[in-house]
Amino acid sequence: MTELRSAQWYGGDGRDAYIHRAWMRRGLPDDAFTGRPQIAIANTASDLTPCNRHLDEVARSVRDGVHQAGGVPLELPALSLGETQLRPTAMLWRNLAAMATEEMLRGNPVDGVVLLGGCDKTIPALLMAAASVDLPAVVVPGGPMLTGTFRGTPLGCGTDVWRLSEEVRAGTLSRDDFTRSESAMIRSKGHCNTMGTASTMGLLAEALGMVVPGVAGTPAPDSRLLAAAHGTGRLAVELVAADRRPSTVLTRASFHNAIVALAAIGGSTNAVVHLLAVAGRLGVELTLDDFDRIGSRVPVLVDLLPAGRFLMDDLHRAGGLPAVLREVRDLLDPTALTVTGRPLVEYLDDAEIWDAEVIRPRSAPLVEEGGIAVLRGNLAPRGAVIKPAAASPELLRHRGPAVVFDSIEDLHARIDDPDLDVTAGSVLVLRGCGPKGYPGMPEVSNLPLPAKLLAQGVRDMVRVCDGRMSGTAYGTVVLHVTPEAADGGPLALVRTGDVVSLDVAARRIDVEVDDAELAARSPSRATVDGYARPVRGWERLYVDHVLQADTGADLDFLLGSSGSEVSRESH
Ligand code: FES
Ligand code: MG
């Protein structure tokens, strides 16, 4: 084996090595600094990230595994993002968490890292960090929570909040019953149990090859998760010996497999932004169109909320990701490697479907063509996305007059106004919700329907927005419109009453205003006033440097990798 990276700190008998070793000893034996791999455990446990709170327990199992394999485990608290708590949106700090983790891994004497994440942005941020520092790395996804039930009916995290709150607004569910369901929804440790962003990104980390195959999707309270964490700790020591880095695992082939998996599981649209961002750190050529080209004809096989019926606990019981991928094995790239050094496809031979209601066989999919459709048109010159499996089939081709909202505040002020000039055929447009405009590109694109239409029984309408949508949400929603309104996108120019046409089969989203007239318009005062204008701090840095959704909404100066080299000694 070549010399460990950490030997640059601990090797030799000079003054600097003395300092690095002496302050680290604190009970560690002498041989902790002579050839034992130093394994960081980048841990996003936090009381304010409730979905990740149990990761301290997972970290203990990782530690045991690292020790057992002869390494030195070193916990590195990582910046943590709780999706339900952070305002204005957790996404505003995904890049900050990635940057902070990357820098701390580079600056410290570590040889490899185990990444512990769960809640939506945490696994993407950790993958971005690992890609840019390119030290041997492996992910342990924290896993979903167990299914909670209310009055005998399972509740899906997120999805059923949207559903029940719309029922309250429609007058078909009492406030009291709505409040009573609250304590039933979150039954255990773990992240959201629907096929939201956390579930999606945990499974996609495995499809990318960054998780020991078969581990992603293990429910957080399941003792097998701790066994897997122990095994992953051991593997991290091997990764260092083998010098197996993210850049050898995260190839174009592995992104291809992740896109196939995203479609087959019916995963979150947020995965598009996150996968593009991770690829951007590696210099892997991945574009928005790859999602449509590779994924849009892949069948949805997993019958989970929000597209279907079941929850993550059911998926695990039914065979998990390997059983899903076995059904689409012919669509996978067999060359893509995993952290174990073996190709992903080798792990599919023994996979079996134990419940064909939850994981459908290829011959009887939930939706024939799943995945993400990428739309373009004069409303979204650089692209927008829609998840057809979460949309109403009859709305996939639709023309209707726009009802435009200039900001989230404008929406809240007017959406339930009985005098709002809107019908079920209208197209709701919300702007100012992109990376720069909000800032942070929040999950607001599935805007609530007007109360008066809900009362008439309307449950879906075409919506168009430059923001994102929760992976737990559903509806005929055109999102990630690029460029966003605040970055000069034509979405800023649409007026109430303009006819908007959506044609998913033709991959088009247009406003029926001729080019000359559109070019002659400028955004209204109300539109521009809705954009964020931070004067200092992270928000300022973010707004000045964030890129658009079509390339992953990373900061321009964070693209690419700097490797693990440090420029200078500290003394
Ligand atoms: Fe954390 Fe849904 S809020 S995963
Ligand atoms: Mg979310």
DSSP assignments along 215-252, one per residue: -TT--TT-HHHHHHHHHHHHHHHHHHHHT--HHHHS-H
Number of the ligand closest to the Cα of 145: 1
Are 317 and 466 in the same domain? no
219 and 105 assigned to the same domain: yes
Q: What is the pLDDT of residue 472?
A: 82
Indicate if 405 and 305 belong to the same structural domain. Answer: no
What DSSP letter does each residue of 144-175 carry, written as one string? Answer: BPPPEEETTEEE-TTHHHHHHHHHHHHTSS-H
Domain assignment present for 540: no
405 and 488 inside one domain? yes
Closest ligand by atom to 122 CA = 1
Element spanning 384, H or E: strand 380-386
Same domain flag for 251 and 315: yes
479: in domain:
yes
CA of 52 to the centre of ligand 1 (A): 9
Type of residue numbered 163: R
Element (H, E) at 43: strand 38-43
Is 418 domain-assigned?
Answer: yes
3 state DSSP class of 430 = strand
**Where among 135, 166, 185 does a domain terminate?**
185
The CA 342 to ligand 1 mean position distance, Å, reads 31
Which ligand has the nearest atom to the CA of 85? 1
Distance from residue 49's CA to the centre of ligand 1 (Å): 8
* 439: preceding bond cis by omega (within 30 degrees): yes
- Is residue 378 within 8 A of residue 475, CB to CB? The reply is no
Q: Which CATH number covers residue 528?
A: 3.50.30.80
Closest-lying ligand to the alpha carbon of 90?
2
CA distance 43 to 126: 9
CA of 45 to the centre of ligand 2 (A): 18
Instruction: In whole angstroms, give the CA distance from residue 270 to residue 200.
Output: 9
Output the six-digit token pair for 498.
């303009």
Q: Which residues contact 44 (CB under 8 A, 6 or more apart)?
A: 52, 55, 78, 79, 80, 81, 97, 116, 117, 118, 119, 122, 126
Q: How far is the CA of 377 from the centre of ligand 2 (A)?
A: 27
Q: Map 274-317 to HEC letters.
A: HHHHHHHHHCCCCCHHHHHHHHCCCCECECECCCCCECHHHHHH
User: pTM for the full model?
Assistant: 0.97
CA of 402 to the centre of ligand 2 (A): 27
Question: Residue 200 CA to chain centroid, in angstroms?
Answer: 7
Say if residues 553 and 547 touch (Cβ distance below 8 Å).
yes
Nearest atom of ligand 1 to the alpha carbon of 157: 2
Please indicate, yes or no, if residue 128 is contained in any of the structural domains: yes
Q: Provide the 3-class DSSP secondary structure of residue 104.
A: helix
List per-block mean pLDDT (blocks of 10 residues) for the chain, which spans 571 residues.
Answer: 90 94 94 96 98 98 98 98 97 98 98 98 98 98 96 90 86 92 93 96 98 98 98 98 98 98 96 98 97 95 93 98 98 98 97 98 93 96 94 96 97 96 98 98 94 92 96 91 98 98 98 95 97 97 98 98 91 81
Which of 83, 86, 193 for mutating ligand 1's site (highest number of atoms within 8 Å of CB)?
83
Residue type, 473: A
Nearest atom in ligand 1 to the alpha carbon of residue 82 is 1
Q: Final residue of a domain: which of 332, 348, 364?
A: 348
- Quick check: 76 and 104 in contact, CB under 8 A? yes
Structural domain for 248, as ranges: 37-147+187-348
d(CA 137, CA 235): 10
What are the b/e assignments for 439-462, b being 16+ CB within 10 Å?
Answer: bbbbbbbbbbbbbbbbeeebebbb
Please name the residues in contact with 317: beta carbons below 8 A apart, sequence gap of 6 or more: 354, 355, 358
Best residue among 51, 81, 468, 469 to mutate for probing ligand 1, ranked by most atoms within 8 Å of CB: 51
Per the CB < 8 A criterion, the answer to whether 61 and 230 are in contact is: yes
Nearest atom of ligand 1 to the alpha carbon of 199: 4
Residues 46 and 180 in one domain: no
Does residue 269 sit in the same domain as residue 395?
no
Distances (CA, A) of 272 to 197, 373, 528: 10, 11, 28
For residue 419, give both structure tokens. 């005098």
What is the distance in angstroms between the CA of the first residue and the CA of the last residue of the chain? 29
- For ligand 1, what atom is nearest to the CA of residue 83? 3
Question: Do 520 and 419 reside in the same domain of the chain?
Answer: yes
Task: For residue 158, give the ligand 1 atom closest to its CA.
Answer: 2
In a domain, 22, yes or no: no
Residue 473 Cα to ligand 2 midpoint, Å, equals 9
Q: Do 299 and 394 fall within a single domain?
A: no
Ligand 1 centroid, distance to 83 Cα (angstroms)? 5
Mutate to test the pocket of ligand 1, among 192, 305, 311 (most ligand atoms within 8 A of CB): 192
Looking at the CA of 270, which ligand is closest?
Answer: 2
pLDDT at site 1: 52
In a domain, 11, yes or no: no
Please check whether residue 189 is in contact with residue 198, taking contact to mean a CB–CB distance below 8 angstroms: no
Instruction: Note the ligand closest to the C-alpha atom of 81.
Output: 1
- Ligand 1 centre to CA of 120 (Å) is 6
| CA–CA dist 46, 30 (Å, integer) | 32
> Nearest-CA neighbor of 331 among 287, 370, 377, 378?
370
* Ligand 1 atom with the shortest distance to the CA of 84: 3
Atom 1 of ligand 1: nearest residue by CA position:
119
User: Which atom of ligand 1 is nearest the CA belonging to 120?
Assistant: 4
Closest atom of ligand 1 to 197 CA is 4
Nearest to 186 by CA among 267, 91, 83: 83
Q: Which residues contact 500 (CB under 8 A, 6 or more apart)?
A: 379, 399, 400, 401, 402, 427, 429, 462, 464, 494, 509, 510, 511, 512
Q: Which ligand is nearest to the CA of 473?
A: 2
> Do 305 and 398 fall within a single domain?
no
d(CA 571, CA 565): 17
Shared-domain flag, residues 217 and 69: yes
CATH number of domain containing 106: 3.40.50.2300
Do 142 and 154 lie in one domain? The reply is no
CA of 535 to the centre of ligand 2 (A): 27
DSSP helix/strand/coil, 461: coil
Q: Using the atom order of ligand 1, give the atom closest to the CA of residue 52.
A: 1
Q: How many domains does the chain have?
A: 3
Taking the centre of ligand 2 as the mean of its atom positions, its distance from the CA of residue 462, in whole angstroms, is 21
CA of 165 to the centre of ligand 2 (A): 17
| CA–CA gap between residue 228 and residue 320 (Å, rounded) | 15
Q: Whose CA is nearest to atom 2 of ligand 1?
A: 192
- Final residue belonging to a domain, choices 331, 348, 365: 348
Compute, in angstroms, the gap from residue 242 CA to the centroid of ligand 2: 36
Structure tokens at 19: 């300092």
pLDDT at 473: 84
- Please report the sign of the dihedral spanned by the C-alpha atoms of residue 156, residue 157, residue 159, residue 164: positive
Strands 427-430 and 462-465: parallel
**Which residues have any ligand 1 atom within 6 Å of their CB?**
51, 83-84, 119-120, 157, 191-192, 196, 198
Burial of 169 per CB tally in 10 Å (0-12, 13-18, 19+): middle
C-alpha count within 13 angstroms, C-beta hemisphere, residue 131: 29
355 located within any domain: no
Asked whether residue 358 is domain-assigned, the answer is no
* CA 118 to ligand 1: nearest atom: 4
Task: Out of 46, 91, 120, give the residue to mutate to test ligand 1, the one with the largest number of ligand atoms within 8 Å of its CB.
Answer: 120
If one residue of 191, 274, 311 were mutated to test the ligand 1 pocket, choosing by the most ligand atoms within 8 A of its CB, it would be: 191
